[in-house]
Amino acid sequence: MINSKELLILIYLNEYKDQYLLAEIKELCYFTTSQMKKYLQKMIEKEMLEDSNGRLLLTYKAEKFLKEKGLFNVTLSELFKDIVTLEFTEKPLSFQDVYIPKEFKI
């Protein structure tokens, strides 16, 4: 099982590849240096990352995972962009329609 910080690291490394900075991984996940090193080690043990002479690489398993989740071509900019929830629909509601608030419970 992959947690959200591990997922962010995978997406970051997939986007930046050999241009990654350890300082950015720290900042991205609000890690201390030792937390980050432990996390990276854990991901190597899970075979999600490979340490090739100090160079971090995504493994085939990690790439497959991102592809399966539809996140292989996702960039950090897309993840950090503002949420737009207003969408135009083909059939707008009229004043006669009953309005039911989101997550309405009785």
Partner 1 sequence: MSEEHQLTEIQEIACSCIDRWGEDINTQNFSGKLGRFVSQLGDDKDLGRIFLELVKSYNYYSRESVDKLLKEFYNKIISELKLKKQYTIYSRIEDDSKIDSSNNFLSEFKIINDISNHFSHDIEKLSINDFDEIENIIFLDDIIGTGKTVKKFFEKNLEKVRQVKCYIFCIEILGEGKEFLEDYFEKNEIECKIIYHNLHHKVFKKDHIFSDNHKKKEELLRELEKEIWGKKSNFILGYNNSQAIVTFFRNTPNNTLSSFWYNRENWQGLFPRNDELPAFKKRKRNNVRYNIKKKGEFSK
* 4 near partner 1, judged by CB under 8 A: yes
User: Which residue shows structure tokens 């971090």?
Assistant: 56
Residue 31 three-state SS: coil
Nearest to 48 by CA among 67, 37, 56: 56
Quote the CA–CA distance of 5 and 37 in Å, as a whole number: 13
One residue of 1, 3, 45, 82 binding partner 1 per CB under 8 A: 82
Distance CA 44, CA 6 (A): 11
Give the one residue of 1, 45, 53, 96 binding partner 1; rule: CB under 8 A: 53
C-alpha 68/C-alpha 85 separation (Å) is: 25
Provide Rg for the chain, Cα atoms.
20
Q: For residue 3, state whether it binds partner 1 (rule: CB under 8 A).
A: no
102 forms part of the interface with partner 1 (CB under 8 A): no
**Closer residue to partner 1, CB minimum distance, 42 or 79:** 79
Shortest Cβ distance from residue 54 to partner 1 (Å)? 5
Asked if 51 touches partner 1 (CB under 8 A), the answer is no
When asked if residue 33 is in the footprint of partner 1 (CB under 8 A), the reply is: yes
Q: Which residues bind partner 1 (CB under 8 A)?
A: 4, 7-8, 16-24, 26-28, 33, 36, 53-55, 69-71, 74-83
